[in-house]
Amino acid sequence: MAVLSQSTSLSFISTRNDLTHPTRFPSSLSFRRPLAVSSRLNSSKSSDAGGSLSPDNGDLAYHLHHDFSPHRRRRGSPVFVTLPVSFVARDGRVTRPTTIIFSLRALATAGVEGVVIEIWWGLVERNEPRVYDWRGYRELVTMARTCGLKVRVVLAFHQHGSGPDDPNWIPLPLWVLDEMDKDQELAYRDRFGRRNVEYVSLGCDILPVLRGRTPIQVYADFMREFRDTFRSLLGVIITGVQIGMGPGGELRYPSFSFQKPELAFPRGLGEFQCYDKYMLASLNASAINIGKHEWGNGGPFGTGSLMQNPEHTEFFRNEGGTWNTEYGKFFLKWYSDMLLLHGERICREAETIFRGTEVHISAKLAAIHWHYVTQSHPSELTAGYYNTFDRDGYLPIARMFSKYGLSMCCSCFEMQDALMKRINPHGSPEGFLRQLLLAARLCDISLEGQNFSTNLDDGAYSQVLKMSNFYTNGIEKRPFSFNFVRMDKRLLEPRNWNRFTHFVRQMSTGNIFRARLNSVGEIQLKITPVAAEVGLLYQLYQHY
């Protein structure tokens, strides 16, 4: 097999040309001109509304290939797969295009709807403000298009990885880090003064601290540039855009880090992130406004240590905990309201920027479930979710998403209470998820599920089906899709691959599965080599 060289990368920097020109692939892969794929799940157009088609492709061939039927759309839940972060290198170029092509072909034969591509702020706007480098992501989207796959993108405004020693580490843009070095208060701080640079502190959302622009303006400019750069594919190939709103892309404070699981799961209480000067200024103003000046000097006392039993803390304990006093309620409401205001500012910008493009916008919440059966839910409180045994902290967020037309994304769909109880009796992923799904149903918003772990067994896949049915079953069939996170060598092991392809068929309920074995974006692919190609792909991933 011919090996693709790095010279195949396209040079797209701050351009807005139409993406109808195919990426240069080696002749050994024998690609033909791809079909244009129209939005199905996330488009506001109905199947007879005349979706956007390329002039050189016939409507008949298009509908035969994509099986556009009302019955099919009404049943089944499409599956997307998140691609490896390393598919785009730190210099913004696509890496190992041979592996990428085989990955996309394998996913297409498995019948998935499309792929999820994370577009990192730290790569695209890396060196200077308003200088954007989209070339690697443009090429990746074009590859997916050629393979007949839809694309969802995640606009990731946070750091990825734990630090420079992490091979997949992607920090915030260098020019942003420079500003954070000049003004140390742009980073979140906890009560010990420890800074967190995963995400710019929301306390300065509307202050011009990033070279004359506010963080909200910077995020909006990035979204606008993305829209204009990929305009020809929005609602056609790119059917969804998830907007990052915090660490891990989730609407939350960095009270803990999934980069260091031992500090977060399964018992971490988390730390309140309200000690940078911008957050403290807001807290102080709120306290003065109600005549309680002494409440505005910092976060609560008696919150214990990170790994402490909440029952041994003054603030979080079930009986007599400060969280349930007048002061505790004041602080927790201010803390959660700041997070909600941050989300609303970004939702407002995103809705305005993507209005009329027919892409579906979404945002992600964190699945924090390891203190769910306690009264105070401490790990949720420190993350910014004011959710306790007698207060619903997720319904206000769902209402906000509904107001701006966003769908909600959340992970841990594969997690089971019976297994969790063995290691953490205070946790309940199923209880947490049911509460979140009910909030989504009440607010009539669509849902995107995800897995937390990447190595799923039969029981885990069955749990995903169970929780997705919990959301979709009812008189009205509510839109649901699943993002598998993420493609790696474990997924390609024969037993895991068989489980995954079976899961895709189950999610489709037999109606939306497309066995594209002979026509994958007009790629010539026979049935017999499929297993061999997946095996070869597994070998490629061994060295990735």
SS (H, E, C) 247-302: HHHECCCCCCCCCCHHHCCCCCCCCCCCCCHHHHHHHHHHHHHCCCHHHHCCCCCC
| Helix/strand/coil for 147 | coil
> pLDDT band at 280, cuts 50/70/90?
very high
The values of phi and psi at residue 267, to 5°, are: -120, -5
pLDDT (average), residues 225-234: 98
For residue 465, with 0-12 CB atoms within 10 Å meaning exposed, 13-18 middle and 19 or more buried, which class applies?
middle
- The angle that helices 326-354 and 215-229 make with each other, rounded to 10 degrees, is 30
- Residue 531 is predicted with a pLDDT of 63
According to DSSP, the residues that pair with 156 across neighbouring strands are: 120
Distinct helix (H) and strand (E) counts, the chain: 16, 10
Residue 29 has phi, psi (to 5 degrees) of: -90, -10
Strands 195-200 and 187-189: antiparallel
What's 363's DSSP letter? E
What is the per-residue pLDDT for 404?
97
Average pLDDT value for residue range 242-246 = 98
Given a contact cutoff of 8 angstroms between Cβ atoms, the answer to whether 254 and 273 are in contact is yes
Exposure string of 325-341, with b = 16+ CB inside 10 Å and e = fewer, is eebbebbbebbbebbbe
Q: What are phi and psi of 242, to 5 degrees?
A: -95, 130
Check whether 449 has a pLDDT greater than 50.
yes
**CB contact at 8 A, 316 and 377:** no
Do residues 416 and 463 touch, judged by C-beta distance below 8 A?
A: yes
Angle (CA) 102 2 134, round 5°:
55
- Nearest CA among 421, 409, 492, 516 for reference residue 452: 409
pLDDT of residue 165: 86
How much is the pLDDT for 308?
79
Residue-level pLDDT at 202: 98
Beta bridge partners of 447: 408, 480
Mean pLDDT of the chain: 83
Q: Where are the alpha helices (DSSP H) in 147-261?
A: 174-182, 215-229
Total residue count of the chain as it appears in this document = 544
State what percent of residues in the chain have pLDDT above 90: 69
E strand or H helix at 305, and its extent?
A: none
Neighbours of 389 (CB within 10 A): 12
Tokens (6 digits) for 407? 């769908």
Residues 451 and 484: beta-carbon distance below 8 Å = yes
Q: What is the mean pLDDT of residues 98-127?
A: 96
Contact between residue 134 and residue 100 where contact means Cβ atoms under 8 Å apart: no
pLDDT for the residue numbered 23:
37
Is residue 494 within a helix (H) or strand (E), and if so which, with residue range?
helix 494-508
Residue of 167 and 460 predicted with greater confidence: 460
Q: Kindly state the average pLDDT of the residues 323-328.
A: 97
> How many Cβ atoms sit within 10 Å of the Cβ of residue 377?
27
Task: Please say whether the beta carbons of 159 and 171 come within 8 A.
Answer: yes
Residue 438 has pLDDT above 60, yes or no: yes
The pLDDT, as a whole number, for residue 321 is 96
Which range is least confidently modeled, 282-291, 385-394, 465-474?
Answer: 465-474
Cis peptide upstream of residue 486 (ω within 30 degrees of 0): yes
Closest by CA position to 515, among listed 121, 126, 98, 109: 109
CA distances from 371 to 221, 247, 339, 411, 454 (A): 38, 20, 20, 16, 23
Q: What is the CA radius of gyration of the chain?
A: 23
Nearest Cα to Cα of residue 72 among 515, 513, 521: 513
Q: Is the pLDDT of residue 468 over 70?
A: yes
Rounded to 10 degrees, the C-alpha dihedral 236/440/388/315 comes to 10
pLDDT reported for residue 164: 86
CA 145 distance to own-chain centroid: 21
pLDDT of residue 16: 38
Encoding tokens for residue 504?
A: 């895709």
Q: How far apart are CA 186 and CA 466, in angstroms?
A: 42
% of the chain residues with pLDDT over 70: 77
Question: Peptide bond before 396: cis, by omega within 30 degrees of 0?
Answer: no
Q: Under a CB-based contact definition with an 8 Å cutoff, are residues 483 and 43 in contact? A: no
Q: Average pLDDT in the 476-502 region?
A: 91
- Find the Cα–Cα–Cα–Cα dihedral 111, 112, 113, 118, rounded to 10°: -150
* Residue 537 amino acid letter: L
Lookup result for tokens 């630090």: 163
- Burial bucket for residue 49 (CB in 10 Å: 0-12, 13-18, 19+): exposed
Cα 63 from Cα 340, distance rounded (Å): 42
Question: Closest Cα to residue 77, out of 515, 514, 436, 511?
Answer: 511
- Collapsed DSSP state (helix, strand, coil) of residue 240: strand
Determine contact, residues 371/427, Cβ cutoff 8 Å. yes
What's the pLDDT at 529? 41
CA–CA distance, 227 with 311 (Å, rounded to integer): 49
Q: Which two tokens stand for residue 218?
A: 């910077």
What's the pLDDT band for 541 if we cut at 50, 70, 90?
Answer: confident
* pLDDT for position 257: 64
